[in-house]
């Protein structure tokens, strides 16, 4: 069967679940992964064909997509900030909004004057996408990352190695510590203070579950997604408290946040005496990132 014919069938089979553009993007993601072909290749060589074995493989993937299993999990990888990352059911799939947070952090360093090596801590690292992207783009920085999930950290470690970056990972539940100096001993020396602390912690309230797409709700780890409605800022409050103790003078705190809680986050950081607090919107116009200095 010609690939272009199968493409039509593939998109039509998903038309009751996804819009045409999304189904088409799935097709080309899989095409590049399985056959190393891009959209332009198919346009230039319209007579390319799939073998019977290839059609069998594609049909199996198609059935999983109909169950709304994320295509990134089916392929086992995704791209973030120009890098490739392994992803699986133990980690969230990195979002474009988080790339904007990484970009903001990198931009701020262009105007900073430092006499010592930059020390960065990513709390709730998941796949390691933030920590690894910062390590890759700020090569003179020392980067450390924390997560409560050992399985997530195993994935993050693979991603660090795959992207040829050095990130030091620590397993701990930050809700159970009062100072980063309490972190468990490891095979590296953890700084007592950091120049930057960044986090994209769980922030979706249970009341917002109805807004979450089924493919996310049914497949991505709830541990990394949800917080209780009556304590939605639990991670932000704790991390800000740790930042008060463990950021260097004039150190920087960056968060990705719940789009509905921007004003509450400003109040939280103001009350905790953070300076130069700035709330930014993402590419979709939602309040998504916040910054403050200690």
DSSP state of 91: S
**Position with higher pLDDT, 219 vs 255:** 255
Q: Are strands 142-147 and 194-199 parallel, antiparallel or unpaired?
A: unpaired
Angle of CA points 156, 158, 163, to nearest 5° = 95
Q: For residue range 124-180, list pLDDT tens digits in order.
A: 999 999 999 999 999 999 999 999 999 999 999 999 999 999 999 999 999 999 998
Model pLDDT, residue 223: 87
Mean pLDDT for 36-51 is 94
Model pLDDT, residue 185: 64
In this model, does residue 293 exceed pLDDT 90?
A: yes
In this model, does residue 74 exceed pLDDT 80?
A: yes
In this model, does residue 76 exceed pLDDT 80?
A: yes
- Among 208, 168, 175, smallest CA distance to 191 is for 168
In this model, does residue 113 exceed pLDDT 80?
A: no
Q: For residue range 232-272, list pLDDT tens digits in order.
A: 999 999 999 999 999 999 999 999 999 999 999 999 999 99
- Cβ neighbours, 10 Å, residue 224: 21
Mean pLDDT for 178-189 is 79
Model pLDDT, residue 183: 80
What's the rounded Cα separation, in Å, for the pair 268 and 280?
16
Model pLDDT, residue 197: 98
| 170 SS3 class | strand
Q: Are strands 226-227 and 204-205 parallel, antiparallel or unpaired?
A: parallel
In this model, does residue 184 exceed pLDDT 80?
A: no
Whether the predicted model's global pTM rises above the 0.85 cut: yes
Mean pLDDT for 85-99 is 97
Model pLDDT, residue 161: 98
């Amino acid at each position: 069967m010609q690939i272009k014919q199968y493409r039509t069938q593939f998109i039509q089979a998903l038309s009751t679940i996804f819009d045409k553009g999304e189904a088409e993007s799935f097709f080309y993601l899989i095409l590049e992964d399985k056959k190393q072909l891009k959209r332009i290749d198919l346009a230039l060589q319209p007579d390319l064909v799939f073998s019977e074995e290839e059609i069998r493989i594609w049909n199996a993937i198609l059935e999983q997509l109909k169950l709304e299993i994320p295509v990134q999990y089916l392929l086992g990888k995704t791209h973030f900030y120009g890098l490739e990352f392994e992803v699986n059911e133990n980690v969230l799939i990195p979002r474009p909004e988080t790339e904007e947070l990484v970009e903001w952090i990198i931009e701020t360093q262009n105007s900073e004057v430092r006499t010592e090596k930059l020390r960065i801590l990513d709390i709730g690292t998941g796949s390691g996408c933030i920590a690894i992207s910062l390590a890759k783009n700020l090569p003179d920085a020392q980067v450390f990352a924390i997560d409560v999930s050992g399985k997530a950290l195993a994935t993050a470690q693979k991603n660090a190695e795959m992207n040829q970056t050095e990130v030091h990972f620590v397993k701990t539940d930050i809700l159970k510590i009062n100072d980063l100096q309490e972190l468990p001993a490891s095979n590296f020396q953890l700084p007592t203070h950091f120049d930057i602390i960044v986090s994209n912690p769980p922030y979706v309230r249970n009341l917002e579950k109805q807004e979450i797409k089924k493919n996310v709700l049914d497949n991505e780890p709830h541990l990394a997604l949800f917080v209780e409605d009556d304590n939605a800022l639990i991670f932000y409050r704790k991390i800000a408290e740790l930042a008060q103790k463990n950021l260097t003078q004039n150190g920087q705190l960056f968060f990705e946040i719940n789009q509905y809680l921007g004003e509450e986050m400003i109040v939280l950081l103001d009350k905790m005496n953070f300076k130069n607090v700035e709330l930014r919107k993402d590419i979709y116009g939602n309040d998504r990132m916040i910054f403050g200095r200690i």
